[in-house]
Chains A and B, each alone.
Chain A
Amino acid sequence: MNEQHIGWTLAAAALTLAMAAPAQAAGDPARGKAKSEACVACHGVDGNGASAAFPRLAGQHASYLAHSLLAYTTGERTNVIMQGFAATLSKQDRADLAAWYASQKGLGTAREQR
């Protein structure tokens, strides 16, 4: 392989590795738990709820939770209470909170009940 080919090969490899990087910041459940104090009143200590009006979060997919928090921040999803809370969150906060609730036992994937 001559020098020109090596250069292009390295560039292509670098681009490929960069594209493989995760789209979301990795969330840490322990950090998420620490950040979830404000959520407890409505969603319960572990996300299993304090009232049926507010959704159970425990065991939910982290990507869905993070997307929901982002949607409240951008206004794609409207809710007076949640928009207020979400506005205070960074991308890392969203990922951490999502990871915390996802790690708790609660919701399951729907299965046909016989």
Chain B
Amino acid sequence: MNNSRSLTLALYLGGVLACGPALAEGDPQAGQTKALPCMGCHGIPGYSNVYPTYHVPKLAGQYREYIVAALLAYKSGQRDHKTMIAQASTLSDADMQDIAAYFAAMSHEGK
């Protein structure tokens, strides 16, 4: 292989490897589609549960790791909320990572 081909191959492999870790932490773009069912409650400003009456929590800018932990807790039943358990039960680990990355990456006002 001559030098320019080697360089091209090195750059290509480098690019593939560089993408790897980012995807393992969740892909916000894939998350946008997967999070559409979430927006029905979490995407409406000031939305509340019917009973007990409290606001559906804001998610834009929430930490990715925390969202994943919460979804896992709902899926396992460790955390109790009928709608969230139903939602989380449909999600694979990869789905949770992507959805969490999507919300974490959203513009928000905090630091």
CB distance from B103 to the nearest CB of A (A): 6
Contact of B63 with A by CB under 8 A: yes
The verdict on A55 contacting chain B, using a C-beta distance below 8 Å, is yes
- Alpha-carbon distance A108/B44, docked complex (angstroms): 11
Check A6 for interface membership: any CB of B closer than 8 A: no
Contacts of B108 in A (CB 8 A): 59, 106-108
Contact residue among B44, B54, B79, B110 (Cβ-Cβ distance under 8 Å from A107): B110
Known: A52-B65, A63-B53. 4 other contacts (CB 8 A): A23-B53, A76-B80, A110-B59, A110-B103
Residues of B with Cβ closer than 8 Å to A? 32, 35, 38-39, 42-46, 48, 52-66, 69-70, 78-80, 102-103, 105-111
- A77 proximity list for chain B (CB < 8 A): 79-80
Can you report 10 A-B residue pairs in the complex whose CB atoms are below 8 A from each other? A55-B66, A56-B63, A61-B58, A64-B55, A106-B61, A107-B61, A109-B58, A110-B58, A112-B43, A113-B105
Given contacts A48-B110, A48-B111, contact A107 B59 (CB under 8 A): yes
CA distance A66 to B48 in the complex (A): 14
Cα distance A52–B63 in the bound complex, in angstroms? 5
In the assembled complex, how far is the CB of residue B53 from the closest CB belonging to chain A, in whole angstroms? 7
**A85–B39 alpha-carbon span in the complex (Å):** 32
